[in-house]
Amino acid sequence: MNTKKKIEVFSAGCSTCKETIELVKKIAGSSHEVVIHDMQQSEVASKARHYGVRSVPAIVVDGKLAGCCAGRGPDEHVLRSALA
């Protein structure tokens, strides 16, 4: 049985970020908590630095930066593995 995970998406509002948000919501469904963070807010940028976010979109699962978004957007298989 999978436990409910907290998924945080750090976004700057770009088209890749929007696609990432939709992908995360699709994969997470109602099984996980999804929180969207706007990087244009200073407190969000500070939180992102704490997690080690260096580019957006970025996804944090249960407080750990997921490796699914390196390069040109999210890798769906890596994201699904992080939620398993």
pLDDT in tens, 40-77: 898 998 999 999 998 899 999 999 988 777 656 677 77
Q: Is the peptide bond before 57 cis (omega within 30 degrees of 0)?
A: yes
Q: Helices H, strands E: what count in the chain?
A: 3, 4
Q: Which region, left, alpha or beta, applies to residue 62 given φ > 0 means left and ψ of -120 to 50 means alpha? A: left
Residue boundaries of the structural domains of the chain: 6-83
Topology at the third CATH level for domain 6-83: Glutaredoxin (3.40.30)
Alpha-carbon gap, residue 4 to 22, rounded angstroms: 19
The whole-number pLDDT of residue 18 equals: 93
The whole-number pLDDT of residue 80 equals: 79
